[in-house]
Structure 1
Amino acid sequence: MKKVYDFLKKCETYYLATVEGDQPRVRPFGTVNIFEDKLYIQTGKAKNVKKQIDINPKVEICAVYEGEWLRIETTLVEDDRIEAKKSLLDNYPQLKNMYSAEDENTVVFYLKNAVATFYSFTDEPKVIRF
């Protein structure tokens, strides 16, 4: 899991895919955090992505960095605890003007049953499960 975290941090931007009805939806994300040995991401409850995750929590994440790319198949699980939100926001102080661990908008999810596959043009795929 740490290798996945490190890769996503290096990328700074990764892409999260959800489904809305029969239409795929993909958008850039940038938050990633390890809290209590789980990998977390963050968004706002008012956003469409949160509504899509509520209906279908199975998502994919894709990121590219220097000729290597990562795809993560996972299920997102919401964690309402202030401690989980605070941990993530402490690592992204620039978000504190928009989000707070105590507000009604901030939501964090951890990745459950994740299958992360690293790809490149020169090496065989490497799979990490967490």
Structure 2
Amino acid sequence: MEEVKEFIKKCGVYYLATMDGDKPRVRPFGTIEIFEGKLYIQTGKSKDVSKQIQKNGNVEISATAPTGDSWIRVAGTLVRDDRREPKVNMLEHYPELKSMYSPDDDNTEVLYFKDATATIYSFTAAPKVIKF
């Protein structure tokens, strides 16, 4: 899981795909952290992406390495964690978000991957699969 997090962090931006009814929705994200052995992302409960995840937690993220020679896909189910501790952890790793989010507001949402499969692809090697 650490390899997955580090790969995504080096990309800077990843794209999260959700479903809105029968239509796919994709948007850029930047938050990714490990907390208590789980891979977390962060968003706001007021956003459409949050509402889509709550209706259907099956998501996929994708990111390309800055060099362009490798990329990752992570598929799994996102689960909301309403505890304060993972919110604090995320905001400590992304202090620029503190002007918009607080661990004590009713909007900050952190979600962790459950039953996830990450696949790292390359033009020069076989895909590497990591399950967590």
Length-normalised TM-score, structure 2:
0.97
Question: What's the Cα RMSD here?
Answer: 0.5
Name the SS of the counterpart of 1:96 in structure 2. Answer: helix
1:59 matched residue in structure 2: 59
Structure 1: tracts of 5 or more residues without a match = none
Distance in 2, matches of 1:98 and 1:50, equals 16
1:46 matched residue in structure 2: 46
Give 1:5 shift: 0.4
1:93-112 equivalences in 2 (<5 Å):
93-112=95-114
2:76 matched residue in structure 1: 74
Name the SS of the counterpart of 1:72 in structure 2. Answer: strand
Give 1:12 shift: 1.1
Length-normalised TM-score, structure 1:
0.99
- % identical equivalent positions: 60
Structure 2: tracts of 5 or more residues without a match = none
Q: Between Structure 1 and Structure 2, how many residues are aligned? A: 130
Stretches of 4+ aligned residues off by more than 2 angstroms: none
2:119 matched residue in structure 1: 117
Amino acid at match of 2:49: V
